[in-house]
Structure 1
């Protein structure tokens, strides 16, 4: 079987699929991407690059659409060379929808099955956009988001089948396309993300700016952890830092470990040019000797952080659910999470985690304090947290389901 994966990043959600398919000598696996770094054994990586950026004179509502068209055009050119020079004709084209890589694949490969990974459908109201009062939605945002869905709608129409990771994410797509969408998470490696009862947090981060020296918290009993790609409102970073300030006032032995980069992955940067980390450090009265920013970590170091966590805080707008929350549950963390729809799909309050209002920093602090005050009483919750992931999000199980879905079974 010939398979063509398409994703801006590499390998992203397709890592396990591509790796597994490439192990079969009867398969030829090609991965089209803009990212030059990284490799997977047996996977033929092909780099594509749009010829230019969206034109500055194009109406700003339309720039994301033009960007998607340019990306789709770049993929079409590279895939045409595969077809003409190497006689590569995929049985399956599997693209990440939204950024445009697969827009024209049905034209180039009309006999191929065109599959799409659908992560998000944009709404001005009722999900992430109008969730935070600090960032009110206006008519400009409404108009931009309506056009932002254009490449996604083209994929919804063109694809033979689509997949989305959670029921909450599926609900964001137009109901008339739900019959095309299967819910299947990409899966969590529960053999890797597993508890370790005697874990000690000793790591040497590789980001010399975020963490210039090794981090040794082996003698610390209270470790509050937070993980996100970026430090931004979408993942509740400002609220979390307010919680840290409150915790430090009454818990002199408590340390906080923040994994992630000082950037915005989702949403908009601050208009004053400062990062949200810089802003919060200026606004709050904090003991910086007990707050540890690690920057980006390797998976092994990240695992150590989760295994040593006394309590893990996960906050999110009603948006795409982070892998990190599921990985924390798999590792047996006590997760204090926001009472928002993506989190509520996984966590049952008081059973396998703790839910609290996203904006109520006092309540979040109280929940964290309660976990830290009663560590022995949290063992059952830790076990149920892991059980939730093992039973419903285990990579080995979902990978089989995902592969069967790809082949139309």
Structure 2
């Protein structure tokens, strides 16, 4: 008679991130697929695909203590809400073996005090440059945020950031501790279609979470206006919310979609542009698959998933020469093109040239680059190795 094998006790892992699983998608997928972990997500909102898992959704935007002066209300409200929830978990003897925390929103602020000694992976996206602002309150807010990041790094067992550009934003005394680990792209989903697409017109695509200045949206619109005035055999498809997610000094909080409509209407090209608003992944994929040229513009900021999804789909991509995506450029096998998005006429000429050039090799290079470097299976394995090393 065989002796029954003792069931392996699962490790408890807390995942704190503003929108679950977001930047921890690769890590969460690894843990769920392995069957060795109990994953508890603490978040403000959850991706619909993950609603069946053990996730606690909190609303941190409650009223702060009346008349209490605060420097950074978003962080300070999150500190209170999540600290209370984490304390409840501890009182219920729900103790993590490992913590993954997206650092910067405040939700993770006191977790090392509540659960001392528990290994912690801190995920860092940005460092605030107070020199960009001249407003005293804005300067104070950025100083506060940076101090907060510095302090939390001391509590992190491992410090992770997704790209070299983002690591470079941090002071040199922090950079040496930062491990570059991207969450990857689902290259099995974002892939070229095998179907033959029949089109009457050339298709230019633009995908962004928000139609906003950080993604050089109005520069894109002005360039498209010039392109469409020359070539009427083009349709422009724009996916994105009419919302500004990167709010900062110097950017007016207006509807940039309405401003774009005004520019295109005055230019006589509005009938050639489709504003599709936010779309499902399936619609976004189909749009990318029919793209003859995909535009990804960005002022210095965090590189977008949409850029990598376009490369994975095998799009011909034209991007800004602002340094945001330089580390993704494959010098041996060029996988996208650059332009100065502030030089409207030069960019117009580049767009028209690319539309009528055989860029099939560039498409293949873009796809190959993503499969080699950012496919989700490989990234999940890297996250898995890191998680296992801390347990």
| Alignment TM-score, normalising by the size of structure 1 | 0.85
Contact 1:260/1:295 (<8 A) preserved: yes
Question: What residue in structure 2 maps to residue 359 of structure 1?
Answer: 342
Contact 1:6/1:32 (<8 A) preserved: yes
Q: 1:309 to 1:47 in 2, by over 3 A?
A: same
Q: 1:12 to 1:244 in 2, by over 3 A?
A: same
Which sections of structure 1, spanning at least 5 residues, go unmatched? 130-136, 201-217
Question: What residue in structure 2 maps to residue 113 of structure 1?
Answer: 119
Question: What residue in structure 1 maps to residue 314 of structure 2?
Answer: 332
What pairs with 1:182-197 in structure 2 (closer than 5 Å)? 182-197=179-194
Q: 1:139 to 1:76 in 2, by over 3 A?
A: closer
| CA distance in structure 2 between the aligned counterparts of 1:271 and 1:111, rounded to whole angstroms | 43
What pairs with 1:44-63 in structure 2 (closer than 5 Å)? 44-50=54-60, 52-53=62-63, 62-63=70-71
Contact 2:29/2:380 (<8 A) preserved: no
Q: 1:169 to 1:304 in 2, by over 3 A?
A: same
| Matched position secondary structure for 1:319 | coil
Residue 242, structure 1, aligned to residue 222, structure 2: yes
Contact 2:17/2:42 (<8 A) preserved: yes
Deviation at 1:366, TM superposition (A): 1.4
Residue 90, structure 1, aligned to residue 96, structure 2: yes
| CA distance in structure 2 between the aligned counterparts of 1:347 and 1:57, rounded to whole angstroms | 51
Q: 1:35 to 1:149 in 2, by over 3 A?
A: same
Contact 1:199/1:307 (<8 A) preserved: no
Residue 317, structure 1, aligned to residue 299, structure 2: yes
Deviation at 1:147, TM superposition (A): 2.5
Q: 1:271 to 1:400 in 2, by over 3 A?
A: closer
Deviation at 1:53, TM superposition (A): 4.3
1:349-400 deviation digits (Å, cap 9, x = unpaired):
78211111131122221111111121x2x01111111111111111111111
Contact 1:187/1:395 (<8 A) preserved: yes
Residue 395, structure 1, aligned to residue 376, structure 2: yes
| CA distance in structure 2 between the aligned counterparts of 1:153 and 1:230, rounded to whole angstroms | 29
Q: 1:236 to 1:182 in 2, by over 3 A?
A: same
| Alignment TM-score, normalising by the size of structure 2 | 0.89
What pairs with 1:275-294 in structure 2 (closer than 5 Å)? 275-284=255-264, 285-294=267-276
From 356, 359, 370, give the equivalent of 1:373.
Answer: 356
Question: What residue in structure 2 maps to residue 208 of structure 1?
Answer: none
What pairs with 1:245-284 in structure 2 (closer than 5 Å)? 245-268=225-248, 274-284=254-264
Question: What residue in structure 2 maps to residue 138 of structure 1?
Answer: 134
> More displaced, 340-349 or 227-236?
340-349
| CA distance in structure 2 between the aligned counterparts of 1:172 and 1:5, rounded to whole angstroms | 25
> More displaced, 281-290 or 228-237?
281-290
Question: What residue in structure 1 maps to residue 106 of structure 2?
Answer: 100
Residue 347, structure 1, aligned to residue 329, structure 2: yes
Contact 1:314/1:335 (<8 A) preserved: yes
Q: 1:196 to 1:38 in 2, by over 3 A?
A: closer
Question: What residue in structure 1 maps to residue 5 of structure 2?
Answer: none
Q: 1:163 to 1:386 in 2, by over 3 A?
A: same
| CA distance in structure 1 between the aligned counterparts of 2:324 and 2:163, rounded to whole angstroms | 8
1:316-365 deviation digits (Å, cap 9, x = unpaired):
11110000001101111111000122211112578211111131122221
| Matched position secondary structure for 2:274 | strand
Q: 1:269 to 1:275 in 2, by over 3 A?
A: farther
Question: What residue in structure 1 maps to residue 386 of structure 2?
Answer: 405
1:104-158 deviation digits (Å, cap 9, x = unpaired):
1101111211211101111145xxx5xxxxxxx4254444422232332222122
Count matched residues.
376
From 59, 65, 71, give the equivalent of 2:78.
Answer: 71
> More displaced, 37-46 or 90-99?
37-46
Contact 2:26/2:383 (<8 A) preserved: no
Question: What residue in structure 1 maps to residue 149 of structure 2?
Answer: 152
